[in-house]
Amino acid sequence: MTSPRTTLSLVDTDPAELAVDAIVIGVHSQTTEAGTGASADALLLASGAESIAAAFDGKLTETLALLGATGGPGEVIKLATLGTVTAPLVTVVGLGPEPSGAAPAPEALRRAAGAAVRALAGAPRVALALPLPDDADAPAALRAVAEGALLGGYRFAGYKTKPQPARREPVAEVLVAVPDAADATAQAEIARAQAVAGAVRTSRDWVNTAPNELRPPVFADAVATAAREAGLEVEVLDEAALAAGGYGGILAVGQGSEAPPRLVKLTYTPAGGGNGKRVALVGKGITFDTGGISIKPAQGMWEMKSDMAGAAAVGAAMLAVAALKPAVTVTGYLPMAENMPSGTSYRPGDVISMFNGKKVEVLNTDAEGRMILADAMARACADGADYLFETSTLTGGQVIALGKRIAGVMGTEELCERVRVAGDATGEPAWPMPLPDDVRKGMESDVADISQVNAGMDRAGHMLQGGVFLREFVTDDVAWAHIDIAGPGYHSGEATGYWTKGGTGVPVRTLVHLVEDVATNG
């Protein structure tokens, strides 16, 4: 099920003269004494709004103050222009306090563009005249505005059978005002934003699809079809191939469901072989997680349709890689299974033989993600990866430790730092976490090489247990990072910034940034 798409282009026409349905400008808040309320001098129009302000004879901030504008981040105020400019509507989006001697941070612009475009649903054609620097930071700012606009306007197609009169269509066309619409660098940023945001939207679509319509074989087919259309090499291992290949973890988790498991492998090979480096991306694809025999509580279980967000992100990132053509070989591994309770489910106490030969004692069937990931990560190492980035909605411990917005990252220290930097650059923050020896000691098994969770079922350091377990399946010569997106992968609250309710697409943009970084810097 594909969501409606928004198109994006550049313009260098005076914003006051653009023939659009709405023009978006930014406003900053200025520090005022507590309790005094908003006033005209408490608002500062951002750059890009000069011609709009002139058309209002300098009274725009005064009018906005009367409407209650504060300039707070993400605040959206709509104002009829009554013929003062060509567009019938001016939409003012808050950018927060004016940065000292600099343009707004890219993430502030990304969120502002997303909030404005979402608020303008129903307006077919919208122009953004947001502040863009004219220095070396200009490409990052333009990228942020473009991504925010495309992602803020996202809406899942859904399953409603009756017309929804109050449900306005997303903005169809967004124009971004820049000094020179023909500038090659600016055009390249728009093309990149369309490729990357398109991939994020695809990831969101997969996550938001009802779990009865996206069981492992269907999910595998959907990813394979999209990948082939993008020009990627595709290999899909069904249950017979998984058994023949020794993928004990994937098979164990999937054996409780009538919908059999899959492992999808996607490969991008650059022209000329690239820089010689090989990047592996691995994503958890549990299409629905009941917990299996260790069944979850009923409350909130419906959100477990999002337990394949890691695989969705990896599959979508590979589509973006195919479009952007970086000079590095990239392979995506998407293990897929449905974790269901039945007479054939794997059990607490089972010992599973994994792809790399290690024996795992199962203590909790709800710790299933690490089982399928371990097989896929071991396969990636066997295929010969230099860098391995794995992402998954792995542990509730990530949410407890870092909240709903910040991913936890564990693995090789240098690679974890690269993930943190990439997350900061893309607006998908991640924070490095340790892998302590005492956590590994607590996972010793009396009968196997390692227990799947702490042998005493102690949830202390739960997020770290997941990372420690996965480390067992990465060879010493591979730099690796595990990105736990249990919180950031799915947004159950109201829309905010460029996040809409449901799948977020995190960390597609981080993965693409990392691939480009390896392509450029090795």
Residue ranges covered by each domain of the chain = 7-182, 198-521
In the predicted structure, residue 36 carries a pLDDT above the cut 50: no
In the predicted structure, residue 422 carries a pLDDT above the cut 50: yes
Instruction: Find the range with the poorest average confidence among 27-36, 55-64, 458-467, 492-501.
Output: 27-36
Percent over 90 (pLDDT), the chain? 90
313 in Cβ contact with 283 (< 8 Å) = yes
Six-digit token string for 31 = 């520090």
Instruction: Find the range with the poorest average confidence among 36-50, 105-119, 168-182, 418-432.
Output: 36-50
Q: What is the mean pLDDT of the chain?
A: 95
Give the start-end residues of each E strand in 370-476: 387-392, 407-411, 430-432, 450-451
Nearest Cα neighbor of 142 from 98, 170, 175 is 175
In the predicted structure, residue 103 carries a pLDDT above the cut 60: yes
Q: For 282-331, what is each residue's pLDDT tens digit? A: 999 999 999 999 999 999 999 999 999 999 999 999 999 999 999 999 99
In the predicted structure, residue 1 carries a pLDDT above the cut 70: no
From the CA atom positions of the chain, what is the Rg in Å?
A: 24
pLDDT of residue 32: 55
Give the C-alpha separation, 15 to 129, whole Å: 7
Kindly indicate the confidence band of residue 98, based on its pLDDT and cuts at 50, 70 and 90.
Answer: confident
Choose the CATH number for 198-521 among 1.10.1740.10, 3.40.630.10, 3.50.50.60, 3.40.50.720. Answer: 3.40.630.10
In the predicted structure, residue 85 carries a pLDDT above the cut 80: yes
**DSSP-derived secondary structure for 179-245:** S-TT-HHHHHHHHHHHHHHHHHHHHHHHHHS-GGG--HHHHHHHHHHHHHHHT-EEEEE-HHHHHHH
pLDDT of residue 280: 98
Q: For 184-241, what is each residue's pLDDT tens digit? A: 999 999 999 999 999 999 999 999 999 999 999 999 999 999 999 999 999 999 999 9
Kindly indicate the confidence band of residue 35, based on its pLDDT and cuts at 50, 70 and 90.
Answer: very low
In the predicted structure, residue 25 carries a pLDDT above the cut 90: yes
Report CA 42 to chain centroid distance, whole Å: 35
Q: What is the pTM of this model?
A: 0.96
pLDDT of residue 51: 96
Percent over 70 (pLDDT), the chain? 98
Kindly indicate the confidence band of residue 101, based on its pLDDT and cuts at 50, 70 and 90.
Answer: low
Fold of 7-182: Leucine Aminopeptidase, subunit E; domain 1 (3.40.220)
pLDDT of residue 40: 67
Give me the sign of the Cα torsion angle 91, 95, 96, 100. Answer: negative
Q: For 147-160, what is each residue's pLDDT tens digit? A: 999 999 999 988 98
Give the start-end residues of each E strand in 327-452: 329-339, 351-353, 359-361, 387-392, 407-411, 430-432, 450-451
Report CA 91 to chain centroid distance, whole Å: 27
pLDDT of residue 288: 98
pLDDT of residue 31: 62
Q: Which residue has the tokens 């009554």?
A: 82
Q: For 355-414, what is each residue's pLDDT tens digit? A: 999 999 999 999 999 999 999 999 999 999 999 999 999 999 999 999 999 999 999 999
Instruction: Find the range with the poorest average confidence among 133-142, 278-287, 382-391, 421-430.
Output: 133-142
In the predicted structure, residue 37 carries a pLDDT above the cut 70: no
Alpha helices (H) in 231-345, listed in sequence order: 239-245, 248-254, 309-324
- Residues recognised as catalytic: 296, 370
Give the C-alpha separation, 165 to 258, whole Å: 40
Report CA 498 to chain centroid distance, whole Å: 11
Give the C-alpha separation, 190 to 430, whole Å: 26
